[in-house]
Amino acid sequence: MSSLSRGRIDGPFYYRAAFPGGDTSLSLVVHTAPGRQDLAKTMREIATALDPSVALSIHSLEENIDRALRPAELAALLSGSLGLLAFGLVAVGLYGVMAYVVNQRTKEIGVRIALGAPPARVQRQFVGDGLRVVAIGVGIGWVLTIASSHVLTRVLFGLSPLDPLTFAAVGALLLAVALLACLLPARRAAKVDPIEALRYE
């Protein structure tokens, strides 16, 4: 009985003897030249000739690999879908919060413009303030992810839980969402007449 599993390449194992009449299933691995489509039929005829009651199932190496990886692929698809859904919710929530904060500061924008501040400068300052907050949040998220990466090591095979490309992509997407969330309301507020902005509640 082998204790090896997918994702492990070493470890102790032992062979269990198969006795006639037992319920132990046997596997026979046959190495053939490519294109031997008739081999399965020949093997089935030989097995039937030796024991007509034998239950024989023949699969190629590709089919065995696909069956072994199917649960992991389904789990990866499910977790990836949930991850995309979570990211979408985060993006929508981040946009809503940042847009609300900037809209609440419309009066402040009007005051600054009324005092002679260029609208473009006011926009840059508000966008910078929003991006600074999001950047701090992304940094904290990176630190927490790195600190808990040892948990993911056991469920990842052939992948690193500290993939820098993934970290950079997620951070860039969140910053892009924050940029839009801050820039669009700030531009709208900067176009408002200062007198009307001062009346904004």
pLDDT at residue 2 in the model: 42
Contact 171, 145 (CB under 8 A): no
> Which residues of the chain register pLDDT less than 50?
1-4
How far from 114 is each of 10, 87, 169, 183, 194, CA to CA, in Å?
A: 72, 39, 40, 20, 6
The mean pLDDT value of the chain amounts to 76
- Per-residue pLDDT, 184: 80
Tokens encoding 159? 């992948």
- What does the alpha-carbon distance between residue 8 and residue 19 come to, in Å, rounded to a whole number? 29
| Closest among 35, 34, 31, 57 to 44, alpha carbons compared | 57
- pTM for this one? 0.59
